[in-house]
Amino acid sequence: MFLFKKSVSDQPPRLEEAVPYVTNVYQYMTNKKLFLERVTEALSKSPVVQCRLGPMNIYCITGASNIAAMFRPAAISDPWIIRILTTTAGYQPNDLEKFAQDTTGGGRVPRPGSEAPHNKRIWHAMHQIYDEHLAKSHAVTSLSKSFQHFFGKELDRVPLGGHEWEEVGVQDFLRQHMATAVVSAITGPRLIEINPDFIGAFWKYQMYAEKLAFGMPEWMNADGIRARETVRAMCEKWYQVSDERFDWDAEMSDVAFEENFGSQLSRELCRWGKRFDFSSESMGSLYCLLFFGLNSNMIFMTIWYLIEVLKNPDLLRSAKEAMASCFVEDDSGSQKLDPQKLASNPLLQSIYIEVLRVHVSINITRTLKDPAVIGGYPLAAGAVIQAPSHVAHLDEEVWGSDGHPASEFWGERHLKTTEAIGPDGKRTEKKEFSLGNRSGSFLPYGGGVDICPGRHLAKTQIILASAMILTKFDIKFLGWVNPDGSPSKLPVGDDYSYAGAHALPPAGDMKLKWRRVA
């Protein structure tokens, strides 16, 4: 098969299209897996490949040093993010203009050559909130505590038959109950109380989110826009009620959670919206996108965490042992899982990294602010660069190990055995978690100044949610299920229709029988 069209200049080779402007975009929309395979093959021959996707010309890149170049200040995220704010989130035009006007970026210091008064630095103000109220360890601790509370409540409601066996689908269950807990931990339970159909409406919107990002005209994507507007309106309705009831003059800096806005993250984001005079419609958009980032990635990865562990009896045994060692006594004297202990356990971390390595498929995107040389090719200012995480994550040279090819899930891939000599002079072996020198080829969260601020929270909650289920229930595997609910003989695989956009959900489900541990 011919993958490349001959390059006539010093430009990178181009992914060939049988019908220019049509073939790639058609394949992207109808068979992502095949499209990604073509890109992967092309990138195995050249570290930079040009690819036309409809009206967009994209430079796909691979290799740790090229990816590192992409995370330097000369490559920016703003144009891509503004596109997502416009199409996937549906911000109002006058509020979008506030982002477009500020070219100083999210960093503490304005980008060279740009200026704006401090009170107009909208990107920086947003980054500060994410840094302080999402990424910092005090924020992860308090958000995880709320999540543990709400998810515990959800798990206490099931199984309906008390200690009887009950059938569940892992994906089915988490999409409903983990999403309820995640949303409640961020905004407080009122959002779902006043919008009882919120979770169903959210998953419908999630299905269209990437299609929306393409910015197709309304008549071509009417269902997607309707799904987005439903969720946006639900978030707006909650925002208006909370805004009306909240006392904005009260001193709240020490309050981690309150009934109107929920978490401090949510309250400070609303304060930011007020500071930049956002309409309540745009505040609805802000929450649409926040829940998209949270749920689509974190819940899908928890589903896979459970499936991968439950699929392998030896791994299940070791993971349950590790989880059992992470209980501590809480203030009331009862035993509770400690999220920090779980997140620093070597085996549980190794499984978590492996889940993201194998099942995240995100095209990390930047636009060149200035001309730059990447992979030996001079690229012009304005060029859009994408690093497909899947290509880096499945690179055999980087991740392959004897008997465990990179394409395979291996829960212990990121464990290193070290020897220590005890005070009695005896040698003991210890397993430590280590990514080794491979972190440059691991990019589920992007990188640079725009790296995902929710990464620490995601790690903690993925492992915590999995541990809450595996320690609370006796579980028996029943079988695999196709997307239409019919039984399948084959283990479930990734749903590639979402490839490039976010973490991949399973295309189908794992059916279990479980009952509460006495």
Residue ranges that bind ligand HEM, judged by CB under 6 A: 77, 81, 106, 130, 134, 290, 293-294, 297-298, 301, 360, 362, 364, 444-447, 450-454, 457-458, 503
Q: How far is the CB of 230 from ligand HEM (least distance, A)?
A: 21
Radius of gyration of the chain (CA): 23
Token pair in block for residue 51: 């690819």
Q: How far apart are CA 147 and CA 129, in angstroms?
A: 20
Q: Which residue has the tokens 């290193």?
A: 416
Q: Which is nearer to ligand HEM, 464 or 481 (CB)?
A: 464
Q: How far is the CB of 451 from ligand HEM (least distance, A)?
A: 5
Q: How far apart are CA 36 and CA 42, in angstroms?
A: 10
Contact 361, 390 (CB under 8 A): yes
Q: How many residues does the structure list for the chain?
A: 518
Q: Which is nearer to ligand HEM, 364 or 372 (CB)?
A: 364
Question: DSSP readout, 144-200?
Answer: HHHHHHHHHHHHHT-STTTTS-EEEEHHHHHHHHHHHHHHHHHH-THHHHH-TTHHH
Q: Which is nearer to ligand HEM, 15 or 139 (CB)?
A: 139
Of the candidates 355, 372, 505, 345, the residue with the CA atom closest to the CA atom of residue 430: 345
Q: How far apart are CA 71 and CA 450, in angstroms?
A: 8
Q: Which is nearer to ligand HEM, 260 or 460 (CB)?
A: 460
Q: Which is nearer to ligand HEM, 107 or 159 (CB)?
A: 107
Contacts 24+ apart (CB under 8 A), 424-433: 431/346, 431/347, 432/346, 433/346, 433/347, 433/349, 433/350, 433/353
Contacts of 393 (CB under 8 A, 6+ apart): 357, 358, 360, 399, 406, 441, 442, 443, 444
Q: How far apart are CA 518 and CA 75, in angstroms?
A: 55
Q: How far is the CB of 454 from ligand HEM (least distance, A)?
A: 2
Please, where are the H alpha helices in 294-335?
300-311, 313-324
Q: Which is nearer to ligand HEM, 35 or 123 (CB)?
A: 123
Contact 393, 353 (CB under 8 A): no
Q: How far apart are CA 450 and CA 216, in angstroms?
A: 26
Q: How far is the CB of 3 from ligand HEM (least distance, A)?
A: 27
Q: How far is the CB of 479 from ligand HEM (least distance, A)?
A: 27
Contact 247, 60 (CB under 8 A): no
Q: Which is nearer to ligand HEM, 384 or 478 (CB)?
A: 384
CB-neighbour burial class of residue 188 (10 A; exposed 0-12, middle 13-18, buried 19+) = buried
Q: How far is the CB of 112 from ligand HEM (least distance, A)?
A: 19
Q: Which residue has the tokens 């890149």?
A: 61
Q: How far is the CB of 2 from ligand HEM (least distance, A)?
A: 32
Q: Which is nearer to ligand HEM, 85 or 481 (CB)?
A: 85
Q: How far is the CB of 231 from ligand HEM (least distance, A)?
A: 16
Q: Which is nearer to ligand HEM, 48 or 387 (CB)?
A: 387
Contact 350, 433 (CB under 8 A): yes
Q: Which is nearer to ligand HEM, 14 or 133 (CB)?
A: 133
Q: How far is the CB of 36 from ligand HEM (least distance, A)?
A: 16
452 is in an annotated binding site: yes
Which 8-state DSSP code applies to residue 512? Answer: E
Q: How far apart are CA 156 and CA 8, in angstroms?
A: 65
Q: How far is the CB of 495 from ligand HEM (least distance, A)?
A: 15
In terms of DSSP bridges, do strands 257-258 and 372-374 run parallel, antiparallel, or are they unpaired? Answer: unpaired
Binding residues for heme: 452
